[in-house]
Structure 1
Amino acid sequence: MKKLAFLLPLLFCFAIASAQQAQPVEMADVLRSSGKIYVVIATICIIFAGLAVYLFSIDRRLKKLEKEN
């Protein structure tokens, strides 16, 4: 039963993914041609770096609390 519960959503995701046709993304072409794609990539990198710093700081605080107890 557990295998079936895992397999059904996986099959549905595969069916949806295979039903989509590869079409060019107009927004990406426009951003690439105007050079704004680099701004988008830089923003995403800054957000991920901020999240990583935040998670590492939480990890350090948690380790400090675990050592105290």
Structure 2
Amino acid sequence: MKMHKWLLMLLLTWAAAFSTPAAAQSAPEQMSTVEFSSQAPAASQPEMADVMRQDGKIYIVVVVLVSVLLGVLFYLINLDKKIGRLERELRQ
């Protein structure tokens, strides 16, 4: 039962972390912006993401991020099991 609580907490934290930038981008009139007239409009595009997507390296980044998140999740589940076992031993 406790594992479900950890998974729910992790899912809610993940959703909150990724929903904040999307909300900030959807309302640009509320944010103060600084414009530079010396730069061309095409220079404001994220070139690194395009280059990584073209080279196929973006998939490596995604695999690394997913593996790190799965490792953290696995660690939390094991830690929850150990803590539960220690709590049961202390009650007896």
Q: Does residue 53 of structure 1 match 2:74?
A: yes
- Counterpart pick for 2:32 among 19, 23, 33: 19
Q: Normalising to structure 2: TM-score of the pair?
A: 0.52
Q: Which runs of 5+ in 1 are unaligned?
A: 1-13
Q: Does residue 41 of structure 1 match 2:80?
A: no
Q: Which runs of 5+ in 2 are unaligned?
A: 1-23, 25-29, 35-43
Counterpart amino acid of residue 64 in structure 1: R
How far 1:19 sits from its partner (Å)?
A: 2.8
**Count of residues in correspondence between the two structures:** 53
Identical-pair percentage: 34
How far 1:26 sits from its partner (Å)?
A: 1.0
How far 1:18 sits from its partner (Å)?
A: 1.9
**What RMSD over aligned residues (CA atoms) do the two structures have, in Å?**
2.1
Q: Compare relative contact order (CA 8 Å, sep 6+) and give the higher one, 1 or 2.
A: 2
Counterpart amino acid of residue 18 in structure 1: M
- For residues 66 and 31 of structure 2, the distance between their equivalents in structure 1, rounded to whole angstroms, comes to 30
Distance 1:20 1:66, change over 3 A: farther
